[in-house]
Chain A
Amino acid sequence: MKFTSLAALAATGALVATGAAAQTRDTIQIAGSSTVLPFASIVAEEFGNAYPEFNTPVVGSGGSSGGLRQFCAGVGENTIDIANASRQIRQGEIDSCGEAGVANIIEVKIGYDGIVFASDVETGHFELTPAQVYQAIAAQVPVDGELADNPYTNWNQIDSSLPDQEITLVIPGTNHGTREVFEEKVVIDGCESFDVITAMGDAGEESCLAFRQDGRVIEVAGDYTETLGRLDAQPNALGVFGLSFYEQNRDRLQVATVDGVEPSMETIATGEYPVSRPLFFYIKGEHVGVIPGLQDYALFFVSEEISGENSVLSDAGLIPLSADEREAQVEAIENKTNVSL
């Protein structure tokens, strides 16, 4: 009995060792941004349904940075084929990809997404400007022409038009691409509208992104459901969400206007609403032609039928690309164009 079980053990070990080497992966493996995840999952499913010859791709999350780190781990079957990202790839990531042998990175833009501020429906309505968000979030803010420790505890202290509500902001953690866009398009934008900051030069910009540490800024590493949960627990809090998430939860959330514009698919598509960003995915060129269906999946994703106007993805809240942009993506996929920043 001892020997049989040892033999079984050895057999299992052998299976483990040979199994991986013998089989070619025939399912596309994707990981990355949790903002892109719902869109990518829908496309994966539709792809599996529409193409009888290919398996349904597997879509993981992990945030834009997490996905790109996995993407840059190397070339081969146990590395992912596509990284979803809610921000553009960085030079540092391209370099680390290159070191691991991933030389051909194909960038595909899939559409746009808006970043919205939303609060519990029961609480006050916010009409924000980037400057006000900056004043609420930074550790040091200009007071009487000089940088001082943030004195604000209630929104109406910043501006009397804001509700008399304690300041609590729930923002995405640094693993999220949304965080970068939030910092660039809201905080820095608002920060640099103050003369004190611009007069300080680089040091000023650095001070913009030093957030207050007194518990009024809560960073969430998980997905938007976690942010929503925070809002349930602290109804006074203001959360940062993707437009598509807000649209699914309009019965619980009310959205804040930014610079007087209410976020919607139309205002974001026209650029009226200031806080939007493009969404991307990156294809590992080395895997095209090795993993079956990779190129077909990418082309399927950017097709008019999937991500155009009145498509499944626009229903899910993705703001479609313009016709020219779409054509450029198709070209990039077909020619395996390497990303250039």
Chain B
Amino acid sequence: MATTTTATEAMSEKKSNRDLVQAKLAKRHRSETTFRAVGLGAILIGIALVFVLFGSILYKGVPAFWQATLHLEINFDPEVIDIDPRPVQQPGQSAAEHLDNVNAWIRGLRRARFDRLVQSAIAAEIPAAGDPSETRNVYGLVNANARYELAALVEADPSIIGTTVPVALVANENVDTWLKGNIDRDLPQRMQQLSPEQQEWADALYDRGVIEMNFASSIFTNVDSRSSGATAGLLGAMVGSVMMMLIVMTVAVPVGVMAAIYLEEFAPKNRLTDLIEVNINNLAAVPSIVFGLLGAAVFINFLGLPLSAPLVGGLVLSLMTLPTVIIASRAALRAVPPSIRQAALGIGASPTQAMFHHTLPLAVPGMLTGAIIGVAQALGETAPLLLIGMNAFVASVPSTPLDQASALPVQIYLWQGNENRNFFESRTAAAILVLLGVMITLNALAILMRHRFERRW
């Protein structure tokens, strides 16, 4: 009796277990599908956000690479450009005197009324624009630096005075905005940037093909400009960024790799090295602006290095990149199988020989990847640079790392703050595209190197 009861109990228990499992199975399946759906949803949201981000930048930025450009037949009228021939060094004249004369000649040349030349060239197309009282209005169609571009032509070859030369001049930023429809054409005149005549002339010149949308090479060949937004370019910022990256590579990479090798292979394992390790990891998480403060205090105030210099920027970014390089290099060293070290040591190599002849060459691809990613991160960094004066307006290309310069991400920040929003909104997006392009290239290089040199065991 007792046995049967237990048997039935056991049976019912068994049955109920089965039921229980079956009942739970549906729930388990459900939670499985929910989890997958949530995961998939997260990825989709991520992708959607990336698309929105890139989409909006591309939408705004790509048109900025094409800019309204005037193709004019400029007649270098000797009556307007009324200057003496370029001074020649006289015998008995010192080099300094000669230089002064040449500079005075250039100053005079640059002051000549090149705006009148532009006016007569445009008047050839639109006679109404030829009125002497309209010079300012007409000159407002081309970028404000056009006079200096024309002066540079004469400076390079004074014999063009008296001849007619086809010249391509980038249109004024407001003309570009108008032709691209970036400002509402139906707005009342008091809300427009161009005068009614300028609007009419711009449209007429565009219809006749005098104004064409050409590739905006000025973005890559010019330095930043405030007086002539249309020709503001990234050259100075790009050179500044390249200089900083070279400094990061020469400072952060060797120091970081040496530190990693020592810590990983030679350092005794004790409290001190533990402390160092923890601090390196912490340092990698320190907000970058803190490095800027440090840089301002140490390099500028204490060491007396110049403000806005790529050297200081490069050193600050090196400090910031150092932990990344150390961590990546240590990981690369750790990934080399111990058997290789042991084999080297076993046949009589010294620890240093085992390190440099065997372990290090195998770890180099991983270290390179770490270094490139560190450099790419440094390239996009803005905050620390603001504190060492790199957010200044610099209208020249730095020739040494001690010259004042800007940097790509800082230039984006500066353009974003430009008061001519209608024009600079798209210019900013274009600069972002350039920076993204450089970043993607660097990251692709890192991936390529990893694939090419990676060793598997």
Q: Determine the chain A residues whose CB is within 8 A of the CB of B434 once the complex forms.
A: none
Contact in complex: A12, B356 (CB < 8 Å): no
Q: Determine the chain B residues whose CB is within 8 A of the CB of A77 once the complex forms.
A: 304, 306
Nearest-neighbour CB distance to chain B for A84, whole angstroms, equals 11
Chain B 222-237, CB within 8 Å of chain A: the 1/0 string?
0001111000000000
Q: Determine the chain B residues whose CB is within 8 A of the CB of A53 once the complex forms.
A: 99, 103
> Interface stretch among A36-44, A201-209, A279-287?
A36-44
Contact in complex: B226, A38 (CB < 8 Å): yes
A78-B305, A223-B417, A245-B419 are known contacts. Are A45 and B107 too (CB-CB below 8 A)? no
Q: CA of A51 to CA of B111 in the docked complex: distance in angstroms?
A: 10
Asked if A271 CB lies within 8 Å of chain B CBs, one says no
Asked if B80 CB lies within 8 Å of chain A CBs, one says no
Asked if B379 CB lies within 8 Å of chain A CBs, one says no
Chain A, Cβ-Cβ closest to B145: A49
Chain A 303-327, CB within 8 Å of chain B: the 1/0 string?
0000000101000100000000000
Contact in complex: A58, B394 (CB < 8 Å): yes
Q: Determine the chain B residues whose CB is within 8 A of the CB of A58 once the complex forms.
A: 308, 392-394, 404
Contact in complex: B258, A2 (CB < 8 Å): yes
Contact in complex: B392, A59 (CB < 8 Å): yes
Asked if B190 CB lies within 8 Å of chain A CBs, one says yes
A23-B402, A53-B103 are known contacts. Are A16 and B394 too (CB-CB below 8 A)? no
Q: Which of B144, B419, B422 contacts A224 (CB 8 A)?
A: B419
A9-B254, A58-B404, A251-B184 are known contacts. Are A46 and B396 too (CB-CB below 8 A)? no
Nearest-neighbour CB distance to chain A for B308, whole angstroms, equals 6
Q: Determine the chain B residues whose CB is within 8 A of the CB of A20 once the complex forms.
A: 303-306, 402
Asked if A96 CB lies within 8 Å of chain B CBs, one says no
Chain A, Cβ-Cβ closest to B424: A225
Asked if A265 CB lies within 8 Å of chain B CBs, one says no
Q: Determine the chain A residues whose CB is within 8 A of the CB of B167 once the complex forms.
A: none
Contact in complex: B111, A50 (CB < 8 Å): yes
From 105 to 121 in chain A, residues with beta carbon under 8 angstroms from any chain B beta carbon are 121
Chain B 390-423, CB within 8 Å of chain A: the 1/0 string?
0111111000001110000000000011111110
Asked if A55 CB lies within 8 Å of chain B CBs, one says yes
Q: CA of A314 to CA of B286 in the docked complex: distance in angstroms?
A: 46
Contact in complex: A60, B391 (CB < 8 Å): yes
Asked if B171 CB lies within 8 Å of chain A CBs, one says no
Q: CA of A141 to CA of B99 in the docked complex: distance in angstroms?
A: 67
From 205 to 253 in chain A, residues with beta carbon under 8 angstroms from any chain B beta carbon are 222-226, 228, 244-245, 248-252
Nearest-neighbour CB distance to chain A for B6, whole angstroms, equals 74
Q: Which of A1, A37, A48 contacts B395 (CB 8 A)?
A: A48
Chain A 12-30, CB within 8 Å of chain B: the 1/0 string?
1000110111010101011
Contact in complex: A60, B402 (CB < 8 Å): no
A9-B254, A245-B419, A248-B421 are known contacts. Are A60 and B389 too (CB-CB below 8 A)? yes
For the complex, count residues of B whose C-beta is within 8 A of A: 55
Q: Which of B251, B308, B416, B420 contacts A29 (CB 8 A)?
A: B308
Chain B, Cβ-Cβ closest to A224: B419
Q: CA of A25 to CA of B308 in the docked complex: distance in angstroms?
A: 12
Contact in complex: B393, A59 (CB < 8 Å): yes
Q: Which of B110, B148, B227, B300 contacts A78 (CB 8 A)?
A: B300
Q: Determine the chain B residues whose CB is within 8 A of the CB of A310 once the complex forms.
A: 136
Contact in complex: A52, B107 (CB < 8 Å): yes
Chain A interface residue number, banded: 35 or more
Asked if B443 CB lies within 8 Å of chain A CBs, one says no
Contact in complex: B258, A41 (CB < 8 Å): no
Contact in complex: A312, B144 (CB < 8 Å): yes
Q: Which of A61, A224, A226, A312 contacts B227 (CB 8 A)?
A: A312
Inter-chain CB contacts under 8 Å: number: 140
Chain B 72-89, CB within 8 Å of chain A: the 1/0 string?
000000000000000000
A8-B250, A42-B227, A50-B110 are known contacts. Are A25 and B306 too (CB-CB below 8 A)? yes
Contact in complex: B315, A16 (CB < 8 Å): yes
Q: Determine the chain A residues whose CB is within 8 A of the CB of B190 once the complex forms.
A: 250
Q: CA of A42 to CA of B255 in the docked complex: distance in angstroms?
A: 42
Asked if A56 CB lies within 8 Å of chain B CBs, one says yes
Contact in complex: B419, A248 (CB < 8 Å): yes
Q: CA of A20 to CA of B300 in the docked complex: distance in angstroms?
A: 10
Chain B, Cβ-Cβ closest to A4: B254
Q: Which of B306, B308, B393, B420 contacts A41 (CB 8 A)?
A: B393
Contact in complex: B305, A249 (CB < 8 Å): no
Contact in complex: A78, B304 (CB < 8 Å): yes
Nearest-neighbour CB distance to chain A for B178, whole angstroms, equals 11
From 64 to 106 in chain B, residues with beta carbon under 8 angstroms from any chain A beta carbon are 99, 102-103, 106
Q: Which of A8, A55, A58 gathers the greatest number of chain B CB atoms within 10 Å?
A: A58
Q: CA of A21 to CA of B303 in the docked complex: distance in angstroms?
A: 10
Q: Determine the chain A residues whose CB is within 8 A of the CB of B148 once the complex forms.
A: 49
Contact in complex: B395, A45 (CB < 8 Å): yes
Asked if A80 CB lies within 8 Å of chain B CBs, one says yes
Q: CA of A50 to CA of B151 in the docked complex: distance in angstroms?
A: 11
A12-B250, A49-B145 are known contacts. Are A27 and B403 too (CB-CB below 8 A)? yes
Chain A 114-131, CB within 8 Å of chain B: the 1/0 string?
000000010000000000
Contact in complex: A38, B187 (CB < 8 Å): no
Q: Determine the chain A residues whose CB is within 8 A of the CB of B308 once the complex forms.
A: 29, 58, 60
Q: Determine the chain A residues whose CB is within 8 A of the CB of B225 once the complex forms.
A: 45
Contact in complex: B315, A78 (CB < 8 Å): no
Asked if B192 CB lies within 8 Å of chain A CBs, one says yes
Chain B 419-456, CB within 8 Å of chain A: the 1/0 string?
11110000000000000000000000000000000000
Contact in complex: A80, B306 (CB < 8 Å): no
Name the 10 nearest CB pairs between A and B, nearest first: A60-B392, A41-B226, A59-B393, A58-B404, A5-B254, A42-B227, A41-B393, A56-B395, A248-B419, A250-B191
Q: Could you write out 5 A-B pairs with CB less than 8 Å apart?
A: A9-B251, A23-B402, A44-B393, A45-B145, A51-B103
Additional 18 contacts, C-beta under 8 A, given A250-B191, A251-B192? A5-B254, A12-B250, A19-B402, A20-B303, A20-B304, A38-B226, A45-B225, A45-B227, A48-B395, A52-B107, A56-B394, A58-B393, A60-B393, A61-B392, A77-B304, A78-B304, A249-B421, A251-B183
